[in-house]
Amino acid sequence: LVAFLLFLFYLHEPIGQLLHAGSRLQIGLAAIRRLSEIETLPAERTGPAGAEPDTAGRREEGLTFSDVRFRYGPDRPEVLCGVSVDIPAVGMTAFVGPSGAGKSTLFGLVERFHEPDSGRILLDGRDLADWDLASLRADIGYVEQDAPLLSGTLRDNLVYGRPDATEEEIRDAVARTRLDTLVDRLPDGLDTAVGHRGNFLSGGERQRVALARALIRRPRLLLLDEITSQLDAANEMAIRDVVTTVAKTMTVIVVAHRLSTVTQADRIVVLDNGIVRATGTHDELLANDLLYADFAATQLLTGERDD
Ligand code: ATP
């Protein structure tokens, strides 16, 4: 028995490393899946990036979660326990809440990487399950923390999801994401190589390139998953301003630990343990929700961050 216990003890670390590697692999696979989906997306839209989407013949009712329940497997705990939220077609909606509350899971459901166990998610009044998957995903722009860039030029990275983007559309997205000063500084402008996975660029610049790339695809819904969590205050502020402007013309949904990223959102949804605790503006939640007020006290007043 002692020998067996010793054996287990020695195995503990490699097994832990394997599990860790496994979870990183899963994250990596999700990113690859998203990139390969971007690659196969139809590139039918025209007009300047970020301009009013072409909505002819389409109702713009926004996104509705109606009593959505979800668990990652039959033996897993419920991650979303009856989430109901209405997200208007135009504006910025932010989901905040403790780690593990289910915020990123909501994005996975919107992109239909998973299906709800019960309840419905409606986009423009139509159940996501009834959407053609390719056209649904063509309508969604997703940007994550540490968004992957490709080796190649800045231009390659910008048009990755829409190789037929016009020069005007590229320039427009570059201006909207405040990348124009960077482009002016680079020796070959847009045609400058950005290094292996964009390592010639700063973290803030890489995030703005990812955002510009998403805008060039002219999505109907922009999902931003912790996109400022690794940025310094100046870069965070620059991205925040860009997002606020973009949200004037489309549905922007943000998941963030940092409240400073979301205080200007049109509405903030506080998610806790898979349950919507409260919804409101920053000021309303400060006044009415203890968890939110607590977050705010630790993050905004003392400058500490929950990430
Ligand atoms: P964080 O702020 O830390 O990113 P979150 O609020 O985004 O957290 P989720 O990532 O949605 O939370 O995770 C909610 C719960 O679901 C957590 O308990 C998490 O461990 C679990 N979970 C997330 N992804 C998976 C998965 N692919 N398989 C199994 N469980 C998962």
Tell me which residues have their CB closer than 6 angstroms to ligand 1: 72, 76, 79, 97, 99-105, 257
How much is the pTM? 0.79
Beta bridge partners of 275: 272
> Is there a contact between 191 and 154 (Cβ–Cβ < 8 Å)?
yes
DSSP string, 139-183: TEEEEETT----SSBHHHHHTTT-TT--HHHHHHHHHHTT-HHHH
Q: Give the distance from CA 177 to its chain's centroid.
A: 16
C-alpha 34/C-alpha 57 separation (Å) is 28
| Best residue among 105, 224, 276, 277 to mutate for probing ligand 1, ranked by most atoms within 8 Å of CB | 105
Distances (CA, A) of 94 to 58, 126, 248, 257: 25, 22, 14, 10
Per-residue confidence in pLDDT tens, the chain, 307 aa: 555 555 554 444 444 444 444 444 444 455 554 554 444 443 333 334 444 444 444 557 899 999 999 999 999 999 999 999 999 999 999 999 988 999 999 999 999 999 999 999 999 999 999 999 999 999 999 998 888 898 899 999 999 889 999 999 999 999 988 899 999 999 999 999 998 888 889 888 998 999 999 999 999 999 999 888 777 888 788 888 889 989 998 999 999 888 888 999 999 999 999 999 999 999 999 999 998 998 888 886 544 444 4
CA-nearest residue, atom 27 of ligand 1: 72
CA-nearest residue, atom 28 of ligand 1: 72
Beta bridge partners of 267: 93
C-alpha 157/C-alpha 300 separation (Å) is 34
ipTM for the whole complex: 0.97
CA-closest candidate to residue 250, choices 213, 218, 206: 218
